[in-house]
């Protein structure tokens, strides 16, 4: 079922973030979680969402 992006809720984006994390797609998970956080009115909840899905480009470690 396809839905218009304007109709999606924070919970919808958070579900998508969890699915992408489970599929080993951390950057997509981060983007979806960021959208969920932006749609959340409670600042503490938004901070928790962001902490659960950190930006993989800033947490990635390089190996030789």
Who has greater pLDDT, 57 or 37? 37
Give the pLDDT confidence of 1-35 residue by residue, as tens digits. 457 878 899 999 999 999 999 999 999 999 999 99
pLDDT the model gives residue 2: 59
Residue-wise burial string across 13-52, b where 16 or more C-beta atoms lie within 10 A, e elsewhere: bbebbbebbeeeebebbbbbbbbbbebbeeeeebeebbeb
pLDDT at 62 over 70: no
Q: Which of 34, 64, 38, 35 is nearest to 50 (CA)?
A: 34
């Amino acid at each position: 079922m396809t839905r218009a992006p304007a109709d999606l809720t924070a919970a919808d984006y958070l579900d998508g973030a969890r699915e992408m994390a489970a599929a080993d797609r951390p950057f997509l998970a981060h983007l979806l979680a960021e959208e969920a956080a932006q749609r959340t009115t409670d600042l503490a909840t938004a901070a928790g969402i962001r902490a659960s899905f950190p930006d993989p480009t800033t947490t990635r470690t390089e190996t030789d």
